Every structure is written in structure tokens, then in C-alpha cells.
Structure 1
Amino acid sequence: MSDPQNPVPEGSPAAVPTFAQLGLHERLLKAAEALQYQQPTDIQQAAIPVALSGEDIAAMSETGTGKTAAFVLPILHKLLQADAPKSGTRALILTPTRELCRQVVKHCKQLAAFTHLQVNAITGGHDFKYQKAVFRKNPEILVATPGRLKEHLDKGIPDFSDLEVLVLDEADRMLDMGFMEDVTAIANSCSPARQTLLFSATLDSDKFANSRQFSGLLRSPQVISLSSARQSSALIRQQMVLSDDDKHKNKLLLKLLQPDLQRKVIIFTNTKTQANKLAGWLKYMDVNTGILHGDMDQDSRNEEMNRLRRGRISTLVATDLAARGLDVQGVDLVINYDLARNSEDFIHRTGRTGRAGEEGKAISFITSQDWDRMARFERELGLKFEKIKVPGLEARFKGPEKLKSSGKRASTTKRTTGKGKDKPETGAKVKKRQRDAKNVGKRRQPSAKPLTSAAAKWGDGFAPAPVKKKDRD
């Protein structure tokens, strides 16, 4: 996840601090200058001074606003202030996905380029023996995914007794993916005197305050919330195209992917099966396409990402695996082939464009089944989808006939209420079922089959055997 650093616009207030004014180490200032960082972003201005003071932080800010540098820079500064050559790992950064882990490692190395500090990664998809060697080298900063790190922890390999800083990056995603048990176990293995920094794009302050999973990991944290967690970037133009089915979506897709219209496009689906199917079809239609989802091994994932970054492919079909932590420069368009299941995933999907202060565009295909979810996203995220049409490919679905005040579809069937039951209006067709009327008015007849002499004496095996009068007495 890269950190956009926009040039200071003309007429901007002089009160905006520089990186030097934040009190960062001179070697970090040199790295920031080499990366052409000219002034801190809002989240960096708010979080870096608090992190340098040693307080725990729970920070919420939109995707693409520079959260990674907001915790990496103070970590590097703290480690440079006091050398500890004989200590173990001093800073641990947990990320929910391998892709995000790779992005954070890359960014750490860029900012630590003029220092002696070592950064390494522990994720799934790599050999255990190699990773054991990584632990033996005791890198100052370790970036890891919770699942694989917990496996090493169960084997007693890592030692975090010297840990000074623990970072939970995209903490809400780790919670959603069911990693909190592993995260808690890892945190309990760390030095109790550590500083803990929690960062998220979609975890709002209310959800954090009510989360018992996070409250036990931080000590009186300073909460920094610069924007609503359910807010889509104002730099992203949100559009929707009404569609009927997958066949219609495919035709729309080909039209939108015409050459020279976009440099790089990411298409999101909800399932791995759909991603494979769509990517295969696009390749068949001579669209230069790659694919990314959770069933792929790490080498294949890395290869696809490198192909997209280098321009060898122009289109990437992905699941929500790529919605967080995927940072590729020049993504002009995001297409939601399948509408995201929730507003948090929608924010992260569309956040792959409109980064580093650039404008972006996101187009969502909306079917009849997606309408109510789309209306919910508009209400929760405070945005308005611009309805567009692709000439010659208009959908049969034109939208609901009637809408509620919430924007969701309104029922067109009128019902009258009487004595606790909903009755159809006069003239409405009532469905009749044969099972409701086939035995109406008929009495159940006893079996006319005569009993045999044995059955009369001993019974038929189901009813009690007949009892003689003298036995009753």
C-alpha cells in the first residue's frame, strides 16, 4: 500500500508542517526527499507526532491517504534513536493478506534505504526452512500474515520478548477474515511493554469502541479518525450500468475495454470460479488479461502483479483478495462485474483507482438483484451513482417501478389487513393447491379387510391383542 505525497498547491496555508518539522531522523528525511515526498498527508500529520510520543494509536483514514508511512516513519525513527544490536525483532507489522504484506515490505525498504535497518516478511506460500533462517537473522522489522506467523509461534520459533512496536494494519479485515484469535495469541507472545498501533480504512470509531477483540490489545489508545469509515473517495467518479445477466455483462465489458480508452483496468468478481471463467473468456476474446485470487500460489500471484505493473497486461480480473493492499500506479478504471457484498469491500475495491491525488473512475454493473444493495451503499457511503448507458447495449431491466424513500424497491402488490392476516386485494389471483383440497369433506374410513382367526386371537401386530372377558375380570 503506497503513500501518496502530493505537491503543495499554490496558495496553500504555510502552517502545514513539513517532514522535518515533525521531528523525524535526518536519514528518513533523505529517503522522503528521494521518494519526492514534499509534505505529510493529513493522516501522517495527525499520527506521526502521537506515535513518536510512545502512545498507542487507533487510526482510521480512507484508503490511499498514506497510512503506511504514518506508522513506518515513526517506527524507523524510534529504532534509529537507540541501537540494539543484540536484541531480537523490534517491530512487528501484521497484515491480512500476502499482497498487502509485500506492499508494506517494499515501502519499509524504501523509507529505510539510508539506514542499516533490515526488513523481512513471513507469509504463507514459502518454505518453512527458509523462514526459520529469517527468524535467526533477527531483522529489526518483520512484516507477516497472522496465519503463517501463528504456525511458527506454535513451533516455538520466533521470540518477541524484545518487541517494541506492534502494528495491526487493516485491522478490520483481519477481524472479518477470522484472524483475531491468531492476532491475540501473537500479541500475547510479545513484550507487554510494547507500543501498539492499529490502522484501518473502514473501522469507524464506534465499531472500534465496541470491539472487545481490539480493546484488549491496546492501552488507552489515542483515537484518530479523519473521515467517516463509510466514505468513498471524492476523487473517484462512481457510475453504474444496468445489466440483465452475465451474457449482457460480457458484452458491456468488451465495449468498456476498447483499446486506448484506459491504461490499466481491474475487474472484480465475488467468487474465484467467476474470476476464472471471466478471465478465460476475455483471453479468448483477445483481451490482454491476468487473474488474481486466493487459490493461486504465491509465485503465480507475484507474476500476475508484476505483469500488470510493467504494462504486459492491461486488465486484471480479481476477487476481493486484491481489494486491499493492491497498489498499482495508473489504474484508471475499476469495474465491479459483481457488486461487492458489503460497503467496506466496495470502498476498498474502488480505492484501487483515484490514488495519490489522481482522479479515478469506478463502474458497477447493477442487475435487478443488486438494486437494493446499491441503494444501501448510496445511503451508507453518502455517494450517488451516476447512471450511464452503453449505446446499443441497453438492458431490459430499467430499474424498479416504485422506490421507497431509502432508494430501495417498493412492493407493487397491495395487501389489505384483516384480523391479523394479510388478504389479497379484490380480484387478485389466488394460487390454489391440490393438496389443500383433495381430502376436504371426506371422513377417514376404517379398513374393511377382515381379520384372520390368528389375528382375531392374538391381534394384528399393531393394535393390542383382544382380551377375553374372564381375563378382564
Structure 2
Amino acid sequence: MLPLALAGKDVQACAETGSGKTLAYLLPILEKLLATDAPNASTRALILVPTRELARQVYKMAKHFCDLTSLNAGLLTGGDDFKYQASMLRKNPEILVSTTGRLVDHLKRDTADLSDLEFLVLDEADRMLDMGFAEDMELIVGRSSTQRQTFMLSATLRHEGIGRIARSMLREPEEITTQMVHEEHEYIRQQRILADDNAHKDRLLVWLLANETYDKAVIFVNKRVEVDRLNDFLRRHRNGIAMLHGEMTQDERNYVMQSLREGKRNILVATDVAARGLDVEGMDLVINYDLARKGDEYVHRIGRTGRAGKEGLAISLIAPHEWNLKASIERYLQQRMEEREIAELKGSYKGPKKVKGSGKAVGKKKPKAKADKKVAGKKPVAKSDKKKLGPRPSRPKSAAENKGTLMDSEGFAPIKRKKT
């Protein structure tokens, strides 16, 4: 990517999590900004990211390099004081790292100016589309200079909206794919353990945290209420538990991240807000308590470990209702998760049953349709009409009746005659 960026090309890149995408776009931007002096310009480079955690991570790296030069970097995220951010923007930092929603707030209030923008970076573009920021991204691009250079990056660019966004925002982009999905994360062991229900998952989780070897671990769930429940549950069994979800204040989120980095906490229970932008050294165990809803989210989750060539372990706890989701993720990855069973905590669920030779799972049998009691050639009689018809006329006894056997009116199966 470096040669293309330095040559002034727009770039659409898909690369493995932790492979150095941030440096790949940050270094060319810094070099070009330093090569051209523009003292009266407003913000010259904008880096858009989907989450506050990723914004702080990118800002930290950008500020580190800017401190070695005459350039300045600024940060815009939700949860921070708006007036303070407006004051920072009036100083026209050359590089601005921002979440999408907060930048739109500043643009609508005319406290941000992108008319002199030379570089636009969409980091984790697919995630911003998933979070419903497509319109915000279009608004930001519309306020930006048309003479800019644009980079669109992610670990997974297989989003149905990526093509449309790329065509509208990039000019004759060069596409880069370092690895296919099934070739990514070669340093991460992916395992799956079958579980009967959440109570079984709780026991498995406690066992794994007690018996696996790790420096730090992250446990992913799909709902905020489940983060709260697991946080309370695990605190009864272990120390060093922290939690992270989107409803927490910025100060709370900063405190959690700082605690993890300093080693005061070593186990994090989180929603997908931590799937991107969580770069904590020593994060070598990922547990999917709830399986990710999509393949690309699964990729980002397990990408929290096995970074920069280090080995990691990702374990998914699979309940019966998650089997089909697991299968779709394996098809997306084009690889299977390693089967694992904990002897002390074997469950009754062993996966879907299969028909011999067919390979198809057997589900519950559909209830048989009720037999149609209508007789061919006869019209049904309404209840209201039955009284009008009166009693059934008597008929002479047949020979079968005299022998103690009664045939029904249509000559079907014999019915035993009741003794009086």
C-alpha cells in the first residue's frame, strides 16, 4: 500500500487485523503533509473510525509521530466535552481522528471545516456501514475537498454496500487484498465446544478461565444485559473482571481500557464494541460466549488475539440454536473449527442428528395432516340442517347383521355389534 499511497492513488485495501494497516496509511500522510507547508489551511487529513476505542488507538499513534514533527493531531469522539472539541478545532490540527457521529454534529454546527482536506481515510469502513453511518459518511464526503486522496480499509471488505460507497468516494482506486479470509489468522487456534444452554455455558466459562493459560482474555456476548449478568456472575468466581459495552460513559470506558493495559484487570466481558479497536498487549484468549451473528464480526472478534505473529486461542461455545450459525461462519472462513470436549462438563447436546448416507440433519417430524373425513360424492351437511332431516329411516336387517356383524353405510371395514 505504501508505494500506491505515495504515488497519490486512491486505495481500497483488505488486510488481516493487526497487520499494520494504520501505519500503512499514516506514514504516507505524514510525509506528504511535511513536504508541503500550508500554515493557513484547516484540517488537512481526516481519519474516520467506527468506535471510540479505535479512535483513541489511532490518535495515540498519530500523536506519537506528530510530536516528533511540527504537525498537530486532534481527536473527536462522543462522550467528550463538545465546547472543548470546538476549541481544539479552531486551532486547525493538520490530522483529525474522529468517530462519524461526533464529526457530523460539528459539521452541522459549523465548528468543523473540511474544505482544505487533502486526505480522507475510512478505517473499518464495513463496520461504519453496519452501524448505519452510510448517510453520515456521504455528508462528510460532501463537505470535503474534491481534490483529496482517499483510503478505504478494513479487515473484511465483503460488505454489500462497500462497492457502492467505493464507487462514490474513490477515484479509480487500486484494490489490495493481502490475504483471503480462510488464510487469515494462521496463528490463532479456533475451537468449538458444544453446550446445552446458558447454564451449561456458565460452567464451561468458569472452567476455561480457571484452566487455560493466558495473560489476558476477552469474552464476547451479543447483548448488553448479558454483559452485566456475566460480569456479576464471574466476580463470584474470579478477580480481575471488567466489562465494556456501548451504554457506558466515555470516562468509564477509558478507565476499563487503562485497567486492562496496566494489568489491573485481565478478563474483559464485552459486546462487539470491543471487536474492533481493542489493541491490548497480552490478549491471547478469546471466548465467544455468544457466537457472532456474521462471519466478518467473528473474524474481528478472534482478531483481538494472535496479533503481530503471536499465538492465540479462540473458543466458541455452541448451543443447539447456534449450530447453523456456526456452519455458516465455517463456510465463510472455508475452514472448520477444531472440535473440543471438556470431560468433566460433558453435555447432552452432541450436534444435529443425521440420516445415514445423506449427511442431512434430522429435525422434528412434522405432525401428520388430519385425515379428510369427507366421503367422495357426498356433500357435507350443516349442523343447522340436521334437525330438519329428522330421524334416519329404518331399513331391513342384512344377513351380516343377523350374524352379529354390522357393515357401515358405505360397505367399509366391519364393526363389531354391541350386545344389548
What band does the TM-score fall into relative to the shorter chain? 0.7 to 0.9
| SS of residue in 2 equivalent to 1:219 | coil
User: Which residue of structure 2 lines up, in the alignment, with residue 195 of structure 1?
Assistant: 149
Deviation at 1:113, TM superposition (A): 3.6
User: Which residue of structure 2 lines up, in the alignment, with residue 332 of structure 1?
Assistant: 284
Change (3 A) 1:404 1:92: farther
Write the mapping of 1:85-124 to structure 2, written as runs, cut at 5 A.
85-124=39-78
Contact 2:120–2:149 (CA under 8 A) maintained in structure 1: yes
User: Which residue of structure 2 lines up, in the alignment, with residue 322 of structure 1?
Assistant: 274
Deviation at 1:432, TM superposition (A): 5.7
Deviation at 1:231, TM superposition (A): 5.0
User: Which residue of structure 1 lines up, in the alignment, with residue 418 of structure 2?
Assistant: none
Give 1:173's match in structure 2, choosing from 97, 110, 127. 127
Deviation at 1:380, TM superposition (A): 1.3
Give 1:58's match in structure 2, choosing from 5, 8, 12. 12
Alpha-carbon displacement from aligned partner over 1:92-131 (angstroms, at most 9, x marks no partner):
0000111110010011122334212111111100111111
User: Which residue of structure 1 lines up, in the alignment, with residue 324 of structure 2?
Assistant: 372
> What are structure 1's unaligned runs of at least 5 residues?
1-46, 415-423, 449-473
Write the mapping of 1:284-363 to structure 2, written as runs, cut at 5 A.
284-363=236-315
**Number of aligned residue pairs:** 381
Higher mean C-alpha displacement, 398-407 vs 363-372: 398-407
Write the mapping of 1:35-434 to structure 2, written as runs, cut at 5 A.
47-204=1-158, 207=160, 211-229=163-181, 232-258=184-210, 261-402=213-354, 410-411=361-362, 430=368
Q: Distance in 1 between matches of 2:184 and 2:193?
A: 19
Identity %: 48
| SS of residue in 2 equivalent to 1:356 | helix
Contact 1:375–1:406 (CA under 8 A) maintained in structure 2: no
Larger radius of gyration: 2
Alpha-carbon displacement from aligned partner over 1:120-161 (angstroms, at most 9, x marks no partner):
111100111111101101101000011111011111111111
Q: Distance in 2 between matches of 1:164 and 1:151?
A: 21
Deviation at 1:213, TM superposition (A): 2.5
Deviation at 1:404, TM superposition (A): 10
Change (3 A) 1:163 1:304: same
- The letter for the 1-side match of 2:152 is L
Contact 2:191–2:315 (CA under 8 A) maintained in structure 1: yes
Contact 2:150–2:169 (CA under 8 A) maintained in structure 1: yes
Alpha-carbon displacement from aligned partner over 1:240-262 (angstroms, at most 9, x marks no partner):
11101111111111111117722
Change (3 A) 1:271 1:412: closer
Alpha-carbon displacement from aligned partner over 1:425-473 (angstroms, at most 9, x marks no partner):
xxxx63769xx9xxx8533469x9xxxxxxxxxxxxxxxxxxxxxxxxx
Contact 2:222–2:272 (CA under 8 A) maintained in structure 1: yes
- The letter for the 2-side match of 1:443 is K
| SS of residue in 1 equivalent to 2:301 | helix
Contact 2:191–2:316 (CA under 8 A) maintained in structure 1: yes
Contact 1:230–1:344 (CA under 8 A) maintained in structure 2: no
Q: Distance in 2 between matches of 1:384 and 1:163?
A: 45
Change (3 A) 1:362 1:406: farther
Q: Distance in 1 between matches of 2:87 and 2:230?
A: 40
**Alignment RMSD (CA, Å):** 2.5
Contact 1:203–1:229 (CA under 8 A) maintained in structure 2: no
| SS of residue in 2 equivalent to 1:256 | helix
Change (3 A) 1:445 1:107: farther
Q: Distance in 1 between matches of 2:355 and 2:146?
A: 55
- The letter for the 1-side match of 2:334 is G
> What are structure 2's unaligned runs of at least 5 residues?
375-379, 389-420
Higher mean C-alpha displacement, 368-377 vs 92-101: 368-377
| SS of residue in 2 equivalent to 1:258 | helix
The runs of at least 4 consecutive aligned structure 1 residues that moved more than 6 Å come to 403-407
User: Which residue of structure 1 lines up, in the alignment, with residue 406 of structure 2?
Assistant: none
Q: Distance in 1 between matches of 2:346 and 2:214?
A: 22
Contact 1:89–1:140 (CA under 8 A) maintained in structure 2: yes
Contact 1:62–1:231 (CA under 8 A) maintained in structure 2: no
| SS of residue in 2 equivalent to 1:257 | helix
Q: Distance in 1 between matches of 2:82 and 2:358?
A: 52
Q: Distance in 1 between matches of 2:16 and 2:171?
A: 24
Q: Distance in 2 between matches of 1:234 and 1:333?
A: 15
| SS of residue in 2 equivalent to 1:392 | helix
Contact 1:335–1:363 (CA under 8 A) maintained in structure 2: yes
- The letter for the 2-side match of 1:70 is A
